[in-house]
Amino acid sequence: MHARGWARAVSIDHLAARVRLGSLWGPLWGIIAVLVATVSTAAADPAPKPVDIKDKKPKAIVLQDAQGGTYVVFRDDEAKVFYGPSVKTVYEQLIVGSSSNGDSWEYNTWAPRVPEGPHLGDLGRKKDGTYQKSCRGKDDAVLTELSGDKAKAILDKTAFVTSGIIHVPHLLARDDSGVYYYVDRFAKIYGGKGYRVFVGKKGAMKQMPLTDVASDSAGDVFSTKSGDLRLVRNSENNKETTTWVKGEKRTELVFLDTDVNSAVIFKDLGIYTFLGTFCDNI
């Protein structure tokens, strides 16, 4: 048995965000203040970038599911997995682990909508020679391998692009009435930063406008048009406390781990639609 395991996990943006916000930073994290207002002005999101696969084509494994979903795997020193709901465009999946045993192999990719952690989708070849994608028992599918002209057409005509996950979590909290306070940012591949602030109940989140962002050793400050609302996060005695401040009124919030609550963020809050992962539909 040969396994890469989680060697690449530390390079994946969402895991870095978890470390940054989790208990591993402890007292080093200090205070995060998020200033929000009520009118939203958002900059245009960056678009996925083309990925050059020309030199990889001879090693491509092209697969499809019964609905026309297209999967392309390149098994070399720099393995890559792509998926798209059609042959028009396929998005690079974020590989966080892999294993192999003879002719069987498997890649584990970040699938933030999978309810239970670790939030992974699996794509691999089984010992009997069949291919399968798995979303932890939800939306699993047997895949068919394409060859000859069908595979060549996909490799030549399909657009191969970087991850469809443009934004990644930065901070999540809620109050006792079920109102959530959420901050995300651009994924590292898309430049990082680009922070956004959302407030509201599940399915009814509203984006708040930002006018300035300041970062230092004490944390981050997200300023808005009016600057009269603040979300303050303190780390004291290894205990996280999060407070919503409006004028003189302070509301203690429940700090929520962004990795544990990945499915809440990427599905239940209603902020994100298409992510480009092969487990989007769960």
The DSSP result for 255-270, as a single string, is: E--TTTTHHIIIIITS
Question: Could you report the per-residue pLDDT of 139-197, keeping only the tens digit for each?
Answer: 899 999 999 999 999 999 999 999 999 999 998 989 999 999 898 999 999 998 888 88
The per-residue pLDDT for 250 is 78
Name the pairing type of β-strands 249-255 and 80-84. Answer: unpaired
Give the sheet arrangement for strand 80-84, strand by strand. Answer: 2-3, 95-101, 104-110, 120-125, 131-134, 141-146, 60-64, 70-74, 80-84, 89-92, 159-161
Contact at 8 Å (CB) between 273 and 38? no
Structure tokens at 54: 């020309």
Query: Which among 165, 171, 166, 167 has a CA at the least distance from the CA of 258?
Result: 171
Residues with Cβ within 8 Å of residue 261, at least 6 apart in sequence: 172
Do 222 and 171 meet the contact criterion of CB atoms below 8 Å apart? no
Q: Are 231 and 244 in contact (CB under 8 A)?
A: yes
Of residues 169 and 13, more confidence is placed in 169
Query: What gap in Å lies between CA 205 and CA 267, rounded to an integer?
Result: 12
130 pLDDT exceeds 60? Answer: yes
pTM for this structure? 0.80
Answer yes or no: are the C-beta atoms of 115 and 126 closer than 8 Å.
no
Phi, psi of 149 (to 5 degrees): -65, -35
DSSP letter at 9 equals G
Structure confidence at residue 251 (pLDDT) = 81
Which pLDDT tens digit goes with each residue over 51-69? 999 999 999 999 999 999 9
Q: For the beta carbon of residue 260, count every other beta carbon within 10 angstroms.
A: 14
Distance CA 96, CA 111 (A): 10
Residues 206, 198 contacting (CB under 8 angstroms): yes
Segment 106-125 shows an average pLDDT of 94
HEC per residue, 140-184: CEEEEEECHHHHHHHHHHCEEECCCCCEEEEEEEECCCCCEEEEE
